[in-house]
Structure 1
Amino acid sequence: MATVTGAAVILLFLTILSVATTVVPSSPSPPSDLIRSSCLHATFPKVCVNTLTVYKGRATTPRELAQAAIKISISRASKASEFLSGLQKEANKREMGAVKDCASQISDSVDDLRKTLGELKQLRRGTFRWQMSNAETWVSAALTNEDTCIDGFKEIEGTVRSDVKKKVTNVAKVTSNALYLINRLDHP
Structure 2
Amino acid sequence: MASPFYLLTLLALLFLSLSSETHYVTAKPGTPDLVRSSCIHASYPNLCLQTLSSFSNSSQTPNDIAKAAVTVSLYRARKVSDFLTRLADTNRNSKTRIQGALRDCVEQLSDSVDELSRTLSELKHLRSVTFRWQMSNAETWVSAALTNEDTCVDGFYNVEGKVKTDVKRKISNVAKVTSNALYLINRLDQTRGKFEVMD
TM range (shorter): 0.7 to 0.9
CA distance in 1, matches of 2:187, 2:37: 12
CA distance in 1, matches of 2:181, 2:117: 13
In the TM superposition, what whole-angstrom CA distance separates every residue of 1:92-147 from its partner, at most 9, and x where no partner exists? 22311101100100000000000001110111111100000000000000000000
AA aligned opposite 2:180: N
Residues 113-124 of structure 1 aligned to structure 2 (within 5 Å): 113-124=116-127
Q: Percent identity?
A: 58
Q: Which residue of structure 2 lines up, in the alignment, with residue 7 of structure 1? A: none
**Cα distance change on mapping 1:89 and 1:114 into 2, 3 Å:** same
TM-score, normalised by the number of residues in structure 1: 0.82
Q: Which runs of 4+ in 1 moved over 4 A?
A: 27-30
Residues 39-50 of structure 1 aligned to structure 2 (within 5 Å): 39-50=39-50
Kindly tell me the number of residue pairs found equivalent between the two proteins: 162
Q: Which residue of structure 2 lines up, in the alignment, with residue 67 of structure 1? A: 67
Q: Does 1:184 align with 2:187?
A: yes
Which of these two proteins has the greater Rg computed from alpha carbons? 1
CA distance in 2, matches of 1:164, 1:68: 25
Do the aligned residues in 1 keep the contact of 2:48 with 2:180 (CA within 8 Å)? yes
CA distance in 1, matches of 2:57, 2:175: 21
Do the aligned residues in 1 keep the contact of 2:59 with 2:65 (CA within 8 Å)? yes
Residues 65-144 of structure 1 aligned to structure 2 (within 5 Å): 65-91=65-91, 92-93=94-95, 94-144=97-147
**Cα distance change on mapping 1:135 and 1:163 into 2, 3 Å:** same
Residue 49 of structure 2 aligns to a residue whose secondary structure is helix
CA-based RMSD of the aligned residues comes to 1.7
CA distance in 1, matches of 2:103, 2:56: 32
Q: Which residue of structure 2 lines up, in the alignment, with residue 52 of structure 1? A: 52
TM-score, normalised by the number of residues in structure 2: 0.77
Do the aligned residues in 2 keep the contact of 1:57 with 1:68 (CA within 8 Å)? no
In the TM superposition, what whole-angstrom CA distance separates every residue of 1:153-173 from its partner, at most 9, and x where no partner exists? 111111110100011111100
Q: Which residue of structure 1 lines up, in the alignment, with residue 155 of structure 2? A: 152
Do the aligned residues in 1 keep the contact of 2:77 with 2:113 (CA within 8 Å)? yes
